[in-house]
Structure 1
């Protein structure tokens, strides 16, 4: 495996889950790449005067967050960084025991593929 590829894979031993598609590994904010999960009630994207509307199904947003917490608790977490989004968050593929977190959430109907 080339050195640069190995450097892109890291563990996240104690993640903090923000919502169904965003976690923290220490100070690093990580946006799970290629999916969109529903917003939580605190999201500014769901404010009545927001210029950028989000997917504002709060019950489904809580279910997505809770499912991600449970999924990440199944084993060692591997983060494969692939870029940075416009908010400065790391874009990454996140997996546990070789299973992709984003794909898991999509299969559970708790997130949709990002278009």
Structure 2
């Protein structure tokens, strides 16, 4: 037995209601920006607008103290973090490798113990000490990069002599027993 549905059948069909898209994109975008900013700050990056907030103080971390002209010869006072793996921005990888403003730089005149592919615990311990000391030296003054006869090494790192307040970082690390002068190739530390 069927019920009478005539009144319903004669009604005009309505167009389906469109659903409004959810407003998750701006929330996701805000989360992504916050994550990127947190990552940048932990890698040692300090934006220039912080100088304005601090009243233009030149002692603020990340403030340039001299004009820069690319990576061939740079003079800056910068704060560094540690970045043992992957890329970075103003961070120390190991005793002879740093990231400076997004460029990976190898200190050209020295060799330090490995911290990743070490051959004995003593090499790792000395490499860790060299890494910490390099960060201390770099944060102590104005960094200047001097080019050498080759621009990059076989790993694509920029080869530079690094000076802090005019003193060679390499010489300081060698004098402290944390590095040796680079003579080509890998030599054992054990």
Mapped pair 1:114 → 2:174: no
Q: Runs of at least 4 residues of structure 1 off by over 6 A?
A: none
* C-alpha distance after superposition, 1:5-56 (max 9, x if no partner): x76311244331111000111210000012100011xx2x33xxxxxx79x7
Partner of 1:87: 155
User: What's the counterpart of residue 73 of structure 2?
Assistant: 9
Name which one, 1 or 2, has greater alpha-carbon Rg: 2
State the secondary structure of the residue aligned to 1:38: coil
Of 123, 132, 157, the residue aligned with 1:66 is 132
Q: d(CA) in 1 for partners of 2:147 and 2:172? A: 18
Q: CA RMSD for the aligned pairs?
A: 2.0
SS, match of residue 74 in structure 2: strand
Find the aligned partners of 2:167 and 2:137 in 1 and give their Cα distance: 10
Q: Give TM-score scaled by structure 2 length.
A: 0.49
Change (3 A) 1:12 1:23: farther
Higher RCO (Cα < 8 Å, 6 or more apart): 1
Q: Which runs of 5+ in 2 are unaligned?
A: 1-68, 79-89, 184-190
Higher strand proportion: 1
Task: Determine which of 94, 112, 115 is the counterpart of 1:19.
Answer: 94
State the match for 2:4 in structure 1. Answer: none
Structure 1, gaps ≥5 residues long = 1-5, 47-52
What is the aligned counterpart of 1:78 among 144, 163, 170?
Answer: 144
